[in-house]
Chain A
Amino acid sequence: MKDLNIQELERRFQEKIDNDIKIEPRDWMPEEYRQTLIRQISQHAHSEIVGMLPEGNWITRAPNLRRKAVLLAKVQDEAGHGLYLYSAVETLGADREQTIDDLHTGKAKYSSIFNYPTTSWADMGAIGWLVDGAAIMNQVPLCRCSYGPYARAMVRVCKEESFHQRQGFEIISLLAQGTPEQKEMAQDALNRFWWPALMMFGPNDAESPNTLQSMKWKIKRLTNDELRQQFVDVTVPQAHMIGLTIPDKDLKFNEETGHYDFGVIDWAEFWEVVKGNGPCNKERVDARRKAKEDGQWVRDAAMAYAEKRKIQKAS
């Protein structure tokens, strides 16, 4: 084995991938593959954790006990997703706390959608329906990702995300069929979240230089534009079904292609939000940093206590 040169290792690695054999943590892998996965999985983990904040914002104001319980359970699921994903990152040799610090210093990114404010209860519907819906589109193909631990984490996560999507849709359809105030609230939430949801799939394929390599490695199975189109095709009829209007005057079903054509995404806004200039970037990162800083004494105490018990046991 030690005599194998790097080209041979790379050839065997790619052969495994081409034959749909999963790469496991102990297997040899190219350094760029490892780094790409660390970046992608930790970004995904951060998105789950930061994503708790906009929805957590409505837990204490949920309109009834059932909705409160369902929302609590949902946000708790997202924390669980973060936990599995950080574990998957650790299988690649990265340190969980280090990746979290990268989030706090702004070095690591997370899904831009969570930089938009949740200003009404209807946003809990819009987020479940659109944001968890878009996450499913992104993540279902990841269940077949070449890296074993990531693929397995995604299988578990996707089951829960589709549950979230259904609950979100239930919230917003109830509002859409409710009183005029509720209907207005639902439409307003859709107006605010529609475009940011489309941006969740990332830049157009032409602007996404890493896609090709990621597809070759089977870290990515479909391109950004393919996934976005799938999302639009599935979501538009749902909006129509509950009597809401998609805020896009160019949206039109194309009989020839069998897909919806849609308007141009405001990429300037997208890049501003990615850069840190979204409406809530600072609040979100500050909240996460504060949680870590405020919890320092608790973690120190737990460590000191465990240390004392260890010494006690030894003597």
Chain B
Amino acid sequence: METKEALFEYVLRIGDDSLILGHRVSEWCGHGPILEEDIALTNIALDLIGQATNLLDYAGQLEGKGRDGDALAFLRYDREYKNLLLVEQTNGDFGKTILRQFLFDAYRTLLLTRLSKSTDEQLSAIAVKSLKETKYHLKHSSEWVIRLGDGTEDSHSRIQSSLDALWKYTDEIFFANEVDALLEKEGIIPSMEGIKNEWTFFVSDIFAEAGLVIPTNNWKQEGGRTGRHTEHLGYLLAELQYMQRAYPDMKW
């Protein structure tokens, strides 16, 4: 595998994470638990869609087949999306959305911090720009995890059950195969091992403060990085792609 080909695959993965999570969070717009949170969630969705645009445009350049960010976002089949299973999970209640966001933000902040120093200039530039936003998302989601975990009995049990439900998707965050090995050797991406250790420390800390318990059931569900998704993605894509599929080859 060539570096460029590996980098295309890698940028697609993290671009898809932003796209699919941005889509999910955008579903909250107009329905938030309080007006200030409606604004905050919409802002997060907006940042994620912006990051997806930068990343997928770059992926298109790397691929060199004339596809841009829109072509990649709207015109692939489900098996060609490489996002984490975590980010395609449904919103559930506000607590589940926040917890999903927290698990992702904690990883993404660590990743972007390192990608800011990537030897690939364009990837590093995108990382620098995204990192500022993502740090804010992490602050927002971790504060809410603590608030809900240490709020009322009801909020505690709700967010604990979201943690129980989502935990099995977290191992996939650290998925790495030959793509990662090649890029890591060239200093383009960091090692997943280091990120995993820091992530585990960080989330354990926040969960301790929130009074939440990490599930002991260690079943790990993965597949997103290789294009094997949960049932949820199909419906998400049906909505996301609706206009481009129903009215092909038009300008909007």
B162 touches A (CB below 8 Å):
no
In the complex, A300→B31 CA distance in Å? 17
Which B124-174 residues sit within 8 Å CB-CB of chain A? 146-148, 150-152, 154-155, 158
In the complex, A314→B148 CA distance in Å? 22
Number of interface residues of A (CB under 8 A): 49
Partner of B30, one of A68, A181, A287, A296: A287
In the complex, A299→B33 CA distance in Å? 7
A305 touches B147 (CB 8 A): yes
Partner of A301, one of B37, B73, B148, B240: B148
Contact (A65, B147) CB under 8 Å given A76-B39, A83-B39, A298-B155: no
A156 touches B (CB below 8 Å):
no
Which A250-302 residues sit within 8 Å CB-CB of chain B? 287, 290-292, 294-302
Partner of A304, one of B49, B146, B152: B152
Residues of A at under 8 Å CB distance from B?
49, 52-53, 56, 59-69, 72-73, 75-76, 79-80, 82-83, 86, 121, 171, 174-175, 178-179, 181-182, 287, 290-292, 294-305, 308
B32 touches A76 (CB 8 A): no
Interface size class of B (residues with CB under 8 A): 35 or more
Closest A residue to B159 by CB, please name it.
Answer: A301
In the complex, A68→B53 CA distance in Å? 11
A291 touches B26 (CB 8 A): no
Contact (A300, B151) CB under 8 Å given A72-B29, A72-B45: yes
Residues of B at under 8 Å CB distance from A?
23, 26-27, 29-39, 42-43, 45-46, 49-50, 52-53, 56, 69-70, 73-74, 93-95, 146-148, 150-152, 154-155, 158, 239-240, 242-244, 247, 250-252
Partner of B35, one of A75, A83, A121: A83
B154 touches A297 (CB 8 A): yes
Partner of B150, one of A75, A297, A305: A305
The 8 closest A-B CB pairs, nearest first, are A295-B33, A301-B151, A301-B155, A63-B243, A56-B30, A63-B252, A52-B30, A298-B33
In the complex, A279→B237 CA distance in Å? 28
Closest B residue to A66 by CB, please name it.
Answer: B53
The interface centre, meaning the residue of A64, A65, A73 with most chain B CB atoms within 10 A of its CB, is A65
* B246 CB, nearest partner CB in chain A, Å: 9
Contacts of A53 in B (CB 8 A): 30
Contact (A64, B252) CB under 8 Å given A298-B94, A298-B155, A301-B155: yes
Contacts of B158 in A (CB 8 A): 297
* B245 CB, nearest partner CB in chain A, Å: 10
